[in-house]
Structure 1
């Protein structure tokens, strides 16, 4: 089964969110769909997007699993962002949670050490 993921993050302040997500994800958007929507392709057929949608802002919760968990967190820290919470689950899986200025939660997960 082919699978595409297009995960949305509603925001009220599009300009501020655009700057924050560029810092978190380390690049400008892959493309700008409209003057209120920007898209980052994280891997082939797997994208996240921000969209100005004030009535839903602050309620997104996404977790993205990565191969180089520690390296990614270090690169994000170099861009001036730190996680609001770090967890290690009983099976050793690690998670770092970031919250954008509107409260949307973006977590990164990584395999046990």
Structure 2
């Protein structure tokens, strides 16, 4: 996936353009107080398929907003302790989970 395509996907996921465009190859979204997601174009690592998880207090609202922007979770899980997680995959297969406690 090209860097511009990745930025577009993450803009749709987070519902806004990057908070900071660091350079032509780097962008950052502040997604919570003291929490950010950094996207960097690094072709030498493009096949790494990392997995990240954000834990939020407003899981249902965020998931609904993401769906309204046209991105649906690839999977969802509910753990024995009631924590839920939605798993999203970008077009390259990189995973970002968004989890939280039940509402």
TM-score tier by shorter-chain length is over 0.9
When the two chains are superposed, the root-mean-square deviation of aligned CA atoms in Å is 1.2
Matched, 1:102 2:97: no
Could you list the structure 1 runs, at least 4 aligned residues long, displaced by more than 4 angstroms after superposition. none
Matched residues in 1 for 2:32 and 2:64: separation?
20
User: Within 5 A, what are the aligned runs for 1:18-97?
Assistant: 18-57=7-46, 58-97=48-87
Structure 1 gap ranges (5+): 1-11
Contact kept? 1:91, 1:112, Cα under 8 Å: no
- TM-score (structure 2 length as normaliser): 0.92
Contact kept? 1:93, 1:112, Cα under 8 Å: yes
Measured after TM superposition, the shift of residue 68 of structure 1 is 1.1
Q: Size of the alignment, in residue pairs?
A: 102
- TM-score (structure 1 length as normaliser): 0.85
Q: Deviations over 1:12-57 (max 9, x none)?
A: 5100000000000010000100101111112233211111112222
Matched residues in 1 for 2:72 and 2:45: separation?
24
Structure 2 gap ranges (5+): none
